[in-house]
Structure 1
Amino acid sequence: MSATNEYRGSCLCGAVSLTIMADNQEVGACHCNMCRIWGGGPLLALESVKEVRIDGEDEITVFRSSDWAERGFCRQCGTHLFYRLRDSKHYAVPVGLVDGGEPWSLTAQIFIDEKPTFYDFANQTRNMTGQEVFEAFTGQA
């Protein structure tokens, strides 16, 4: 059983700050088309987030990017703050938002079937296709 770690971060302008409780220092990469459009490349995010406390919530704009998820960003500076599932408390928080030099480990890649061919990560990771991700979250294809 791992200890829960607390990480703090804020947007570029400081209008929004987050305190994140996470079970480990594992980072996942999402290669889906929406994440790549949203950030210009794969989303590198903490996936073991247990709790997110937000200060400056009035400065957050939330965009419903699909029937099941939404993305939050600072309305002042545009910093990407989170991806979250609408019907649960699952948050994916960009690791760069809270990176204080922790020894992060890239352990998983999702939507590997949508990853462009022009880049590859050297790390050995658990890889899942988009269908496998949906099956894992919904229990069905």
Structure 2
Amino acid sequence: MTREGGCLCGAVRFSCEGEPINVRVCHCRNCQKAMGSPFFARALYDQGAITVKGETGRYLSSDHLERVFCQTCGTRLFSWRRNGTAAGVALATFDDRNAFAPTEHIWVSEKISWVRLDDGLPQHPEGPV
């Protein structure tokens, strides 16, 4: 199966082949700041399964992760692992924004206090074991 998506202005388009490795909501402080949001809901794919067309920018947000965004409109699209293994694709950037539902929350130890997690999904203080 192929899932497609893109940025707000349409300058960047992407496609993801197959099923994601996992679908999670990350509440870590880096994701909060990078996304400008209380959390980052993303589908994790092998980088080889993702094709990107258009001009993107990258920002090194940690030793291990780059944030990828549209250079035209600034839409935050991916968290790209520098070791070449995987990339998190922002769920809301898929054309079918309901294609995936998260299965767990990670880094809830850094969750913003007013965010209420009452969806019954597993919650991990940090990354899952």
Q: What TM-score do the two structures reach when normalised by structure 1?
A: 0.79
Task: State the partner residue of 1:52.
Answer: 50
2:63 maps to 1:67: yes
Structure 1 letter corresponding to 2:111: K
2:8 maps to 1:33: no
Q: 1-side partners of 2:21 and 2:87: how far apart?
A: 15
2:33 maps to 1:18: no
Q: How large is the Cα RMSD of the aligned pairs?
A: 2.0
Q: How many residues align?
A: 126
Change (3 A) 1:22 1:125: farther
Q: 2-side partners of 1:19 and 1:103: how far apart?
A: 13
List runs of 5+ in structure 2 lacking aligned partners.
none
Identity of counterpart residues, as a percentage? 26
Task: State the partner residue of 2:96.
Answer: 100
2:124 maps to 1:128: yes
Structure 2 letter corresponding to 1:52: I
Task: State the partner residue of 2:105.
Answer: 109
Task: State the partner residue of 2:82.
Answer: 86
Structure 2 letter corresponding to 1:55: K
Change (3 A) 1:101 1:63: closer
Structure of higher CA gyration radius: 1
Q: 2-side partners of 1:41 and 1:78: how far apart?
A: 18
Determine if contact 2:64/2:83 at 8 Å carries over to the other structure. Answer: yes
List runs of 5+ in structure 1 lacking aligned partners.
137-141
Q: Taking CA–CA contacts closer than 8 Å with sequence separation of 6 or more, which of the two structures ends up with the larger relative contact order?
A: 2
1:99 CA displacement: 4.3
1:6 CA displacement: 1.5
Structure 2 letter corresponding to 1:16: V
